[in-house]
């Protein structure tokens, strides 16, 4: 086989199911093989940030590799922010960049797309990928590809593969599957014992589950563990959407003082907090009422387990959860905690819409038609999502990049075949909303709920005196026809409910509902979040 075929076949055998990309001359030969070989389905989008977000989301919601293929320089650098997001939020994204051929590199001309040196791009991506390879020798390429893909999956972080264009058709062996890294069994047993002793001695133990639980496919196992140990489970803000399909004693999502008070109390008053795969960051712990007490905390993430003041290294979350299950017995008498009570029952009247109405309308819709997965951007739409039923959610809850929602929704539909709801603010829609124009070609039909408050609302909350946070009214709904979808603008609750029904009933075209909101209408969660952040940082909300 050729090096390009070996790479595609290796990606597939490591769990990739599709590719997102935008070609360029340094990547054209590889794109030709992608198309002609048909080894993996292939989708082109319009702008590299969207490519990165779509591939990231595809990997996130399937719990396997997402793949983004771009050209050298202008293409790859355009995707830097998306890859940074994937690194920060632990998403197994494979970045493949075309590159100048080995022969071309010998000449004395500067090559187009070259910035400083021909190695500059490699150095930039090295900073936020967990492993990298340049495929400059077909003889050792299979081993190197295998190493990089294994690290991508094991560390659940992006990796970078640079592919010189003159080696695409070089003869090459197949990519092997390497043995997984394994923890020291004695350390693993001791660590699990240590944790279980602490939980048995505690009065108010709680599990806080984060994104790694999804990344490593552990939802069912963690749910079983919580039943066995009779522990309530909260998710982190980033982990929202976990356990949507498992029978888990879930009490809600922990966002410190910004979120549900009962969840906040359960986590912060716990005398043994078992954090599984949580990103310990300011979106949850920065707004907590009190600091984490390390003495009463177990923190398992990034293949390390910190138990109080001592740590165990080289243990994956999967191995730890398996070992904890080995050391516990099933428990038919576990308590069922009170389920979170999300708002429902929208009054379909002529009142203007506020963000909580959108959550209410979506929950009512789920009651009538069944739950749908959600892709959300950052903005009040994500805080409003905390009032929606706990369905599958992909969102940049930690890195907080705008522009994620729309392309992530497309990635979600491509990867799972399920029709998603996309939540996005008007500011974020201005960045990557145009990727919706690619739906028609691929038959994607997401339902987009555009929160149009005609401003950068989160920023205006912090600094209301600044006029630059006001945005123009772009009338997004009017633009949908030529893009291949249907758009409708709604001004009140009755129109919102009718538009949602119409959207669900219309398949095969994307449906955009432009929900007009007053600039100062914000969800209670965002208001509390900004106030709590303000107390911490000294920035006072308006």
**Known binding residues for Mg(2+):** 426, 453
Q: Candidates 5-13, 149-157, 164-172, 396-404 — which segment interacts with ligand S1T by CB under 6 A?
A: 396-404
Minimum CB distance to ligand S1T, residue 350 (Å):
24
CB of 289 to ligand S1T, least distance (A): 22
The single residue among 29, 252, 403, 420 that binds ligand S1T, judged by CB under 6 A, is 403
Q: Which is nearer to ligand S1T, 44 or 527 (CB)?
A: 527
Q: Per CB under 6 A, which of residues 432..491 are in contact with ligand S1T?
A: 451, 453, 455-459
| 379 touches ligand S1T (CB under 6 A) | yes
Q: What is the end-to-end Cα distance of the chain in Å, rounded?
A: 63
- Closest contact distance (angstroms) between CB of 451 and ligand S1T is 6
Tell me if 426 contacts ligand S1T by CB under 6 A: yes
Shortest Cβ 125–ligand S1T spacing (Å): 19
**CA–CA separation, 155 vs 134, rounded Å?**
20
The answer to whether 219 touches 350, Cβ cutoff 8 Å, is no
Q: How many residues bind ligand S1T (CB under 6 A)?
A: 18
Element (H, E) at 529: helix 524-537
Query: In the β-sheet with 447-452, what is the strand arrangement from edge to edge?
Result: 393-394, 374-376, 421-425, 447-452, 511-516, 486-490
Among 3, 415, 428, 530, binds ligand S1T (CB under 6 A): 428
Residue ranges of the annotated binding site are 426, 453
Backbone angles phi, psi at 123, to 5 degrees: -65, -40
3-state secondary structure of 450: strand
**Residue 72 to residue 52: CA distance in whole angstroms:** 15
Nearer Cβ to ligand S1T (298/448): 448
According to CB under 6 A, which residues from 156 to 195 bind ligand S1T? none
Please state the closest distance from residue 370 (CB atom) to ligand S1T, in A: 27
**What's the rounded Cα separation, in Å, for the pair 542 and 239?**
29
CB of 405 to ligand S1T, least distance (A): 9
Residue 405 interacts with ligand S1T (CB under 6 A)?
no
Indicate which single residue of 118, 402, 449, 490 sits in contact with ligand S1T (rule: CB under 6 A). Answer: 402
Query: Which residue, 205 or 433, is less far from ligand S1T as judged by CB?
Result: 433
Rounded to whole angstroms, how far apart are CA atoms 231 and 242? 16
What is the distance between the alpha carbons of residues 111 and 117, in angstroms, rounded to a whole number? Answer: 10
Which residue number, 121 or 469, has a Cβ lying nearer to ligand S1T? 469
Q: Which of 332, 238, 240 is nearest to 283 (CA)?
A: 238
Contact between 401 and ligand S1T by CB under 6 A: the answer reads yes
Contact flag: residue 376 with ligand S1T (CB under 6 A): no
Q: Nearer to ligand S1T by C-beta: 250 or 424?
A: 424
Q: What percent of the residues of the chain are helix, what percent strand, and what percent coil, each to the nearest 5?
A: 40, 20, 40
Q: Of the ranges 179-187, 232-240, 397-405, 489-497, which one interacts with ligand S1T (CB under 6 A)?
A: 397-405
Contacts of 119 (CB under 8 A, 6+ apart): none
Q: How far is CA 44 from CA 3, 48, 133, 143, 375, in A?
A: 22, 10, 24, 29, 19
- Chain CA centroid to CA 399, Å: 10
Q: How far is the CB of 513 from ligand S1T (least distance, A)?
A: 15
Binding stretches for ligand S1T (CB under 6 A): 378-380, 400-403, 425-428, 451, 453, 455-459
């Amino acid at each position: 086989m050729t090096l390009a075929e070996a790479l595609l076949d290796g990606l597939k055998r490591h769990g990739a199911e599709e590719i997102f990309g935008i070609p360029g001359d340094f990547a054209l030969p590889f794109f030709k093989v992608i198309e002609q070989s048909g080894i993996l389905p292939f989708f082109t989008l319009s702008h590299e940030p969207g490519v990165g977000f779509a591939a990231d989301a595809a990997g996130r919601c399937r719990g396997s590799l997402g793949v983004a293929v771009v050209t050298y320089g202008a293409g790859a650098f355009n995707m830097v922010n998306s890859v940074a997001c994937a690194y920060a939020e632990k998403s197994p994204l494979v970045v493949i960049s075309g590159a100048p051929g080995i022969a071309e590199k010998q000449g004395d001309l500067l090559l187009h797309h070259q910035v400083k040196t021909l190695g500059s791009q490699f150095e930039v991506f090295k900073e936020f990928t967990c492993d990298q390879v340049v495929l400059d020798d077909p003889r050792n390429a299979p081993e190197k590809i295998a190493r990089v893909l294994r690290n991508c999956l094991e560390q659940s972080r992006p990796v970078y593969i640079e592919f010189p264009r003159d080696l695409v058709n070089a003869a090459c062996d197949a990519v092997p599957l390497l043995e997984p890294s394994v923890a020291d069994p004695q350390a693993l047993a001791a660590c699990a014992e240590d944790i279980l002793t602490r939980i048995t001695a505690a009065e108010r133990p709680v599990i806080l589950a984060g994104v790694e639980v999804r990344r490593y496919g552990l939802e069912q196992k963690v749910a079983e563990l919580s039943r066995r140990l009779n522990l309530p489970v909260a998710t982190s803000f980033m982990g929202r959407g976990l356990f949507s399909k498992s029978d888990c004693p879930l009490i809600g999502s922990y966002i410190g003082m910004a979120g549900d008070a009962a969840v906040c109390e359960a986590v912060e008053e716990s005398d043994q907090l078992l954090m599984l795969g949580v990103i310990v960051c300011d979106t949850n712990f920065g707004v907590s009422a009190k600091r984490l007490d390390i003495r009463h905390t177990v923190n398992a993430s990034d293949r390390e387990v910190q138990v109080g003041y001592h740590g165990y290294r080289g243990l994956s979350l999967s191995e730890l959860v398996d070992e904890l299950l080995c050391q516990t017995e099933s428990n038919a008498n576990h308590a069922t905690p009170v389920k979170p009570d999300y708002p429902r029952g929208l009054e379909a009247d002529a009142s203007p819409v506020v963000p909580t109405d959108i959550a209410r309308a979506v929950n009512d819709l789920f009651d009538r038609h069944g739950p749908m997965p959600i892709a959300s951007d950052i903005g009040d739409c994500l805080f409003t999502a905390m009032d929606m039923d706990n369905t599958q959610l992909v969102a940049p809850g930690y890195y907080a990049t705008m522009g994620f929602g729309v392309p992530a929704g497309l990635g979600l539909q491509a990867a799972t075949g399920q029709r998603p709801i996309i939540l996005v603010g008007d500011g974020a829609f201005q960045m990557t909303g145009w990727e919706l124009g690619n739906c028609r070609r691929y038959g994607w039909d997401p339902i987009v709920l555009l929160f149009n408050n005609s401003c950068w609302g989160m920023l205006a909350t912090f600094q209301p005196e600044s006029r630059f946070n006001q945005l123009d009214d772009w009338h997004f709904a009017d633009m949908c026809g030529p893009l291949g979808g249907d758009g409708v603008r709604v001004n009140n609750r009755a129109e919102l409910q009718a538009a949602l029904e119409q959207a669900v009933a219309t398949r095969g075209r994307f449906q955009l509902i432009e929900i007009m909101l007053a600039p100062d209408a914000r969800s209670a969660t965002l208001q509390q979040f900004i106030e709590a952040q303000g107390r911490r940082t000294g920035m006072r909300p308006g």
